[in-house]
Homo-oligomer: A and B are copies of this chain.
């Protein structure tokens, strides 16, 4: 198996004007993850640091630049999981920190729990020495504009629960021994009610990793991904049938979209190192590095390739 780090920067209707920055962001994250994997040999470090770079990037809906609640607050979800021991850490409703994915990892490693939310999670952040940013530090002009637009549409139509907030970020990785890991971090859906939890921190919905099947990170309409248990269904198909992880992703997302009329996207690596990249949305940004090859895409069937060594 050739060590690989594959990332996504969210699915949805990504505007053409944003594409250059989005491409740059996912490519950088894949390279950072791959470098870390080469250096430390840890798939967990690789997915964490790939996601960290996207959390810092204003162009994605995670960390800095997160989508806002109806009350203009940032409330973030994240989960990280290692496929060898099925170790995992999850957080919800965290605020004022730039790296929720790292907080999820600390909860996994340093507490007797695996999922903490709200004030309880923020206490661990403080105890672990996280920089607690001033209130509002993660809010951007773009996220405020998206919220204003959402409110206008809500007032006109009385409801639009899938108003675009593309930009969830996620990463999956595999090492030479077949160890896999997954990580997902998200600001949520623009205009969400305070306290709303999406699919990302829900193991088996938006994030999961198991050396016996593979690692998956999902993006898209959180409520639908959660109800359909998308990531669990993909890994169960790989485990119980003979299909590839790409076929499994296509089948499950096809069923979900047919059933709920909502879209989603998936990045996946199975335990043999095969990749799955699939989305039912108009676009999903993704990139991976494997050896010297850096691949990237945004539109269906796109696969831009460059040599980076």
- Interface residues, chain A, with chain B CB atoms under 8 Å away: 81, 86-88, 90, 92-93, 111-121, 123-124, 159, 161, 192-198, 202-205, 208, 223, 226-229, 232-233, 236-237, 239-241, 259
- Pair A229/B226 contact, Cβ less than 8 Å: no
Report if A229-B241 is in contact (Cβ < 8 Å); known contacts: A159-B112, A195-B118.
no
Contact of A117 among B87, B117, B124, B223 (CB under 8 A): B117
Please list 5 pairs of residues, one from A and one from B, whose beta carbons are closer than 8 Å in the complex, sorted by A's number.
Answer: A86-B259, A87-B227, A93-B120, A203-B205, A240-B241
- Pair B112/A197 contact, Cβ less than 8 Å: no
- Pair A194/B236 contact, Cβ less than 8 Å: no
Main secondary structure of the interface of A (DSSP, over half): mixed
Report if A197-B240 is in contact (Cβ < 8 Å); known contacts: A202-B204, A227-B203, A259-B86.
no
Q: Which residues of B contact A236 (CB under 8 A)?
A: 232-233, 236, 239-240
Q: Which residues of B contact A239 (CB under 8 A)?
A: 236
Q: Which residues of B contact A194 (CB under 8 A)?
A: 119-120, 123
Q: Which residues of B contact A232 (CB under 8 A)?
A: 204, 229, 232-233, 236
Report the 4 A-B pairs with minimum CB-CB distance, sorted nearest first: A120-B195, A240-B240, A236-B236, A204-B204
- In Å, the complex CA distance between A122 and B138 comes to 25
- Pair A227/B88 contact, Cβ less than 8 Å: yes
Q: Which residues of B contact A120 (CB under 8 A)?
A: 93, 193-196
Q: Which residues of B contact A92 (CB under 8 A)?
A: 92, 117, 197
- Pair A117/B195 contact, Cβ less than 8 Å: yes
Q: From A120, which residue of chain B is reached at the shortest CB distance? A: B195
Q: Which residues of B contact A81 (CB under 8 A)?
A: 227
- Pair A197/B159 contact, Cβ less than 8 Å: no
In the complex, besides A92-B117, A120-B194, 5 extra interface pairs with C-beta distance below 8 angstroms are A113-B192, A120-B193, A202-B203, A236-B239, A240-B240
Q: Which residues of B contact A204 (CB under 8 A)?
A: 202-205, 229, 232
- Pair B223/A203 contact, Cβ less than 8 Å: no
Q: From A198, which residue of chain B is reached at the shortest CB distance? A: B115
A281 to chain B, nearest CB (A): 19
Q: From A75, which residue of chain B is reached at the shortest CB distance? A: B120
- Pair B117/A197 contact, Cβ less than 8 Å: yes
- In Å, the complex CA distance between A198 and B112 comes to 12
Q: From A71, which residue of chain B is reached at the shortest CB distance? A: B120
Q: From A197, which residue of chain B is reached at the shortest CB distance? A: B115
A88 to chain B, nearest CB (A): 5
Contact of A114 among B121, B223, B233 (CB under 8 A): B223
- Pair B241/A116 contact, Cβ less than 8 Å: no
- Pair A121/B240 contact, Cβ less than 8 Å: no
Q: From A116, which residue of chain B is reached at the shortest CB distance? A: B195
Q: Which residues of B contact A93 (CB under 8 A)?
A: 117-118, 120
- In Å, the complex CA distance between A212 and B236 comes to 15
Q: From A256, which residue of chain B is reached at the shortest CB distance? A: B86
- The CB with the most chain B CB atoms within 10 A, among A87, A205, A223, A229, is that of A229
